[in-house]
Amino acid sequence: MSEEVLARMRRKFFPLYLIGLLASLIFLAHLVLNYIYTGKEQYLTLSMLTGLFSAYLAYSLAKLLRTKIPIYSYRKVVRCTQCGYEEEAEAKGGEILFENAGSCPKCGGEMIVQKIYRKKQLKGILG
Amino acid sequence: MNQGSFIDAIVWFIMLTILFYLNREIEIMRLVGEIEGYLRLYKAVRDKALATTLADFKSVISKKGVEGIDIKLVEKRIKDLVELVFISPTDLDPFGIVRKIKHLLLTSEKTLKKELKSFVPSASDAEIENTLNLLEATRALNFIYKVVNHIYMIGRKFKSLWILMQLDAQLPFITEEVRALEGAIEAFSKGLPVGDSVGPIVAASLIRKYCKQEEIIEEVENTIIAKGVFKNRIIYVIKAKGPGGTVGHLDDALEWVINNAGRVDAIITVDAALKLEGEETGSVAEGFGVAIGGIGVEKFNIEELATKHNVPLYAVLIKMSEEEALSVIDEKLYEGIEKAIANVERFIKTRTPENGIIAIIGVGNTIGVAP
């Protein structure tokens, strides 16, 4: 949940970075064209500065898009105490480790909850 | 060569001063922005924890079909309990302080359980214990948020760069703790085992392997003692009574074992330990001493008993991060549990005499672990 809050906070910057990057790239193209057609050095100096700013924005945007948030799911493994047959399913809550989990579909033996664990999956920041 | 006038020098000096001042102000603004972001995060987590605790207790009430209960009063009491304070005994004269802390812990635990039970008399011990665990995690989150907010506000009030910088430097560690407690909220509300349950899981596995059902007794409140035989040695396995979220009274149970068995030849404690960055989750370390965390009351009492009866103390530690310790157990930790069981068996075979009596203590919260 804290990861989601952080992602939500960072996601707000996405349009800002995108618009900023597009604007600076257009401005950069304008400066470069001006330099090519006029040959004035101040356009070159300004285009270098704008280029650096565009690179910074592109880097920030890439960093934002690379951010992954973990999503957790809960699993349980039930095992037959006689034949060792195993089944894995989602743990919905309230499961108890080493408690009886019915009878084995293969041999009819006692099945117990052998493992309960959380599984991590990564999701992109934009969902 | 023109070296500039006196006026030029003054202008430069003023400009430099302004630049230094602006630099400091910008740095303060950056720190304030960063800390405020984290504070929003801590508040969101705290509020969600409180909402989960309330929802969990309300679901216990509705499940048990309690009628005529004032839900608003229950909500108010739960909110009051989140602000609860434990006042440590004075250590001006430290003699006997452990006894005093134990007394405080036992009486406060009993009182809180009794109060929650008074709302839902038909609730099981496990349900009450899980709600208490939720309350404890919410209280910790509330405390963290309040303290961080306090330091931030003081720093901002006095425009102190140093206070803000110190707080900012601590934020990664605080956030780690907040994430751990957030994981605990999820685990306790679902009643599933947490990373800290590895000790009780090792103990429960040993009970299943070597002890008979009829040899499991509860002589000490919330704690079970199981007697079994392994390689011609008598083993007493001690763990908190599951599946409620409790840590039991392991020191009292060990005292009972020593008094009833007459002697103990070795005490083996198994517990979760915090790993350092770079260490593998689920790796196992062995050691000497009592592997037990918390305030230190049980550790002190077990050490006292071991010293009094001249019993060697062996420890098995399963490594994990703080977040993993309080969140629902990670799959990797089951490998650590297998290794820890093998270590305990090896200790018994190689370090204890034949026909010896060995006490094995599975330390930790036994939420979601039977028996």
| Residue pair B138/B82 in contact by the 8 Å Cβ criterion | yes
Q: Are residues B134 and B64 located together in one domain of the fold?
A: yes
Number of cross-chain residue pairs from A and B with Cβ atoms under 8 Å apart? 79
Rounded CA-CA distance B236/B211 in Å is 9
Q: Give the mean pLDDT of A66-83.
A: 88
If pLDDT is split at 50, 70 and 90, which confidence band does A127 have? Answer: low
Q: Are residues B175 and B298 located together in one domain of the fold?
A: no
Nearest-CA distance from B206 to chain A in Å? Answer: 12
Helices B97-119 and B71-82 cross at an angle (nearest 10°) of 160
Q: Do B327 and A99 make contact, defined as CB atoms within 8 angstroms? A: no
Q: Is residue B13 part of a domain?
A: no
Question: For the purposes of burial, counting CB atoms within 10 Å of the CB of B259, is it exposed (0-12), middle (13-18) or buried (19 or more)?
Answer: exposed
Q: What is the pLDDT of residue B308?
A: 93
Which residues of chain B fall below pLDDT 70?
1-3
Q: Quote the tokens at residue B75.
A: 């909500």
By residue count, chain A amounts to 127
Of B243, B247, B258, the C-alpha closest to B221 is B247
Q: Are residues B202 and B165 located together in one domain of the fold?
A: no
Q: Quote the tokens at residue B371.
A: 């028996």
CATH number at residue B298: 3.40.50.1470
- List CB contacts (< 8 A) between B208 and chain A: 98
Continuous segment of H or E residues that includes residue A10: helix A2-11
Q: Are residues A32 and A85 located together in one domain of the fold?
A: no
If pLDDT is split at 50, 70 and 90, which confidence band does A2 have? Answer: low
Q: Are residues A92 and A44 located together in one domain of the fold?
A: no
Q: Sign of dihedral through CA atoms B179, B182, B188, B190? A: negative
Q: Are residues A76 and A57 located together in one domain of the fold?
A: no
Domain around A119: 69-124
Provide the 8-state DSSP code for B364: S
| Residue pair B115/B77 in contact by the 8 Å Cβ criterion | yes
Q: Round to the nearest angstrom and report the end-to-end CA distance of chain B.
A: 92
**Residue finishing a domain among B156, B190, B224:** B190
**Complex ipTM:** 0.79
Best mutation target among B177, B328, B335, B367 (most A Cβ atoms within 10 Å) is B328
Q: Is residue B135 part of a domain?
A: yes
Q: Are residues B67 and B164 located together in one domain of the fold?
A: yes
Q: What is the pLDDT of residue B266?
A: 94
Residue listed under structure tokens 């077990």: B302
Number of structural domains found in chain A:
2
Rounded CA-CA distance A114/A93 in Å is 15
Q: Do B243 and A115 make contact, defined as CB atoms within 8 angstroms? A: no
Interface of B with A (CB under 8 A): 37, 40-41, 44-45, 48, 175, 178-179, 182, 186, 189-193, 197, 201, 204-205, 208, 242-243, 327-331, 333-334, 368-371
Q: Are residues B220 and B134 located together in one domain of the fold?
A: no
Cα B326 to Cα B129, B146, B256, B322, distances in angstroms: 16, 21, 30, 7
Q: Are residues B65 and B141 located together in one domain of the fold?
A: yes
Q: What is the DSSP string of B229-269?
A: EETTEEEEEEEE-SSSS----HHHHHHHHHHHHS--SEEEE
Q: Are residues A101 and A89 located together in one domain of the fold?
A: yes
CATH number at residue A118: 3.30.1330.30
Q: Are residues A55 and A104 located together in one domain of the fold?
A: no
**Residue finishing a domain among B190, B215, B231:** B190
| Residue pair B56/B134 in contact by the 8 Å Cβ criterion | yes
**Residue finishing a domain among A66, A97, A115:** A66
Nearest-CA distance from B122 to chain A in Å? Answer: 18
| Residue pair B300/B292 in contact by the 8 Å Cβ criterion | no
| Residue pair B132/B138 in contact by the 8 Å Cβ criterion | no
Q: Do B48 and A1 make contact, defined as CB atoms within 8 angstroms? A: yes
- List CB contacts (< 8 A) between B331 and chain A: 115, 117-119
Q: What is the pLDDT of residue B67?
A: 73
**Residue finishing a domain among A47, A66, A85:** A66
Nearest-CA distance from B190 to chain A in Å? Answer: 4
Number of structural domains found in chain B:
2
Q: Quote the tokens at residue B153.
A: 């506000």
Best mutation target among A118, A119, A120 (most B Cβ atoms within 10 Å) is A118
Of B109, B89, B112, the C-alpha closest to B99 is B89
Nearest-CA distance from A99 to chain B in Å? Answer: 6
Q: Do B191 and A93 make contact, defined as CB atoms within 8 angstroms? A: yes
**Residue finishing a domain among B190, B218, B243:** B190
Q: Is residue B356 part of a domain?
A: yes
Domain around B343: 195-362
Helices (H), B244-331: 250-261, 297-308, 322-326
Q: Do B41 and A6 make contact, defined as CB atoms within 8 angstroms? A: yes
Q: What is the pLDDT of residue B277?
A: 87
Q: Are residues B200 and B341 located together in one domain of the fold?
A: yes
| Residue pair A36/A86 in contact by the 8 Å Cβ criterion | no
Q: Are residues A50 and A77 located together in one domain of the fold?
A: no
Three-class DSSP labels, B70-117: CHHHHHHHHHHHHCCCCCCCCCCCCCCHHHHHHHHHHHHHHHHHHHHH
Rounded CA-CA distance B18/B27 in Å is 14
Rounded CA-CA distance B341/B363 in Å is 14
Q: Do B182 and A9 make contact, defined as CB atoms within 8 angstroms? A: no
Give the one of A2, A98, A119 whose C-beta lies nearest to B178's C-beta.
A2
Q: Are residues B201 and B123 located together in one domain of the fold?
A: no
Give the one of A2, A92, A94 whose C-beta lies nearest to B182's C-beta.
A2
A31's CB contacts (< 8 A; 6+ apart) are: A43, A46, A47, A50
Q: Is residue B367 part of a domain?
A: no
